[in-house]
Each structure stands twice: as structure tokens, then as C-alpha cells.
Amino acid sequence: MFRQINVVDMYHGNSAKLSDFAAMKAAGLYAVVHKASQGSHYVDPMYAARKDAAIGAGLLWGAYHFLDSSDVSAQVDNFLNASEITAPGADPFLVACDYEDSANAPTLQQCYQFMAQVDRATPPGVACLLYSGNRIRETLKPNPGGHQDQSMVGVETFFQQHRLWLAEYGPKENVPWPWNSPIVKSSDQATHIPAPGVFLWQFTESGRFNPLPGMTDGNFFDGTFEELKARWLA
């Protein structure tokens, strides 16, 4: 599969200027997903200004929260406020939970709780995307399905029904379970829906996309800008 960067994820450490977004759109970029918050209190200082600049340039916009092991409800409040997804009159955009290894890494249960609470709080049609790679492979496993107590029974179905933004560096996608399995809907006669697969693929952490200065995380959507726009929210 030929892949090229058409989505970038950013945080305050990227040195992009506000004037760069129009040039990035002209160079073929589809979307920007920017860090909005981390934990219970941190807010990315470049988020709000870059949000306005990117949307003004015609790019699709998304916000992600870097999840840690602090109180989940406090993290949800921090993310909703920082991302402005629930601001009065705001247009809806993509939201994502960044679930990865760190010094203060969250549990699978905290990831599930965060995403479920964000789903309930965001506008209709907006469902929380999951960004992950090794951590979701290591903590969500078939048999017994990753649950640690009764509150986690069936959690694999919840995750499978949410889109996956996969961090997998290398020549091809290695889709983790359960996104590599068909969806089975219970009915009088079982209905199988093809495996969801990957929505976005972060295939490099050292990519380049001019005019964005320096190296960047490079992401690929397998389709056109219009196709991504149609699928951006859910």
C-alpha cells in the first residue's frame, strides 16, 4: 500500500506557525489532531490558537487527551473544557483518547470509563476515537476479553464499536484484536459485519510534511479528503 502523510497530530512542542496551516492544506494535508489536555489539569497552550487557524484554512480538526491514572471524571472535565467541544454554538469535531504507556499510565478500565463519559458529554454523532498501539494490545486481550471485574464484562464490544487510530510504525498495519474480527450482532439470525480495521494509521514518528518545520508524527487515511470528511465524526 502506498502511504503518505495526510493527517498530522500536534502538540505545543511542534514549531508550526499559525500562518503555516493554509500552506499545509495547499500541500495536500487533510486534517490536524491536536493535543488539548493531559491528566486532570494540564491544557496545551497552543491548542486554541491553532484550532482557529487550522479550521480557517479549511482543514479538518480534532482534539486528543493524553490519559493518565488520575481521577477519570476530572480528566473528562479537563478535556471537555480545553477542547471546547461542548462550547455553545461550536461545530462538532473529532475527539480522541490517547491511551499509551507512560510513567503514570492508566488502566484499561480508566480508558473505557474516559471514552464512555466523553461519549455521553459530546454532541450527538460524536464518538470518542481511541489512539493506541502496544498498550491496547497488552491490556485488551481475547479470552477473557480484557475485563478485570463485572463492570468490564463485554468491554471488547465497546472498543470494537469505536474507531481505532493505530500507532504502528513499520511497513504495514498490524490490526489488533478486536478490530481485526467481524462484528457479530445478536438477533434471531446472527449478523456479521466486516471487521472494522483501522480508521487512521500513525505509521511514523519521524515524518516530514512541508511546510511544517522539523519531524512530525505521520498519519495516513486511506481515501480522499471528501471521504475522510464524511467519516470524521463517527
For 56-99, how does the pLDDT look when each residue is reduced to its tens digit (9 = 90+)?
999 999 999 999 999 999 999 999 999 999 999 989 999 999 99
Residue 112 has pLDDT above 70, yes or no: yes
The pLDDT of residue 187 is above 60: no
Write a three-state SS string for 172-190.
CCCCCCCCCCCEEECCCCC
Q: Write the class of the CATH domain 7-231.
A: alpha beta
Place of cell 474480527: 181
pLDDT grade, residue 152 (50/70/90)?
Answer: confident
pLDDT at residue 192 in the model: 63
Is residue 21 predicted with pLDDT exceeding 70?
Answer: yes
* Confidence at residue 143, expressed as pLDDT on a 0 to 100 scale: 60
* CB burial string 165-204: b at 16+ within 10 A, e below: bbbbeeeebebbbbbeeeeeeeeeeeeeeeebebbbbbbb
Place 2 in a pLDDT band, splitting at 50, 70 and 90.
low
Average pLDDT score, the chain = 91
Mean pLDDT of all residues in 20-25: 94
What's the pLDDT score for residue 195? 82
Domain boundaries in the chain? Answer: 7-231
Q: To the nearest whole percent, how much of the chain has pLDDT over 90? A: 72
3-state SS, residue 219: strand
User: Per residue in 205-219, pLDDT tens?
Assistant: 988 888 888 888 999
Q: Yes or no: say if 162 and 136 are a contact pair by the CB < 8 Å rule.
A: no
Spatial CB neighbours of 19, under 8 Å, sequence gap ≥ 6: 53
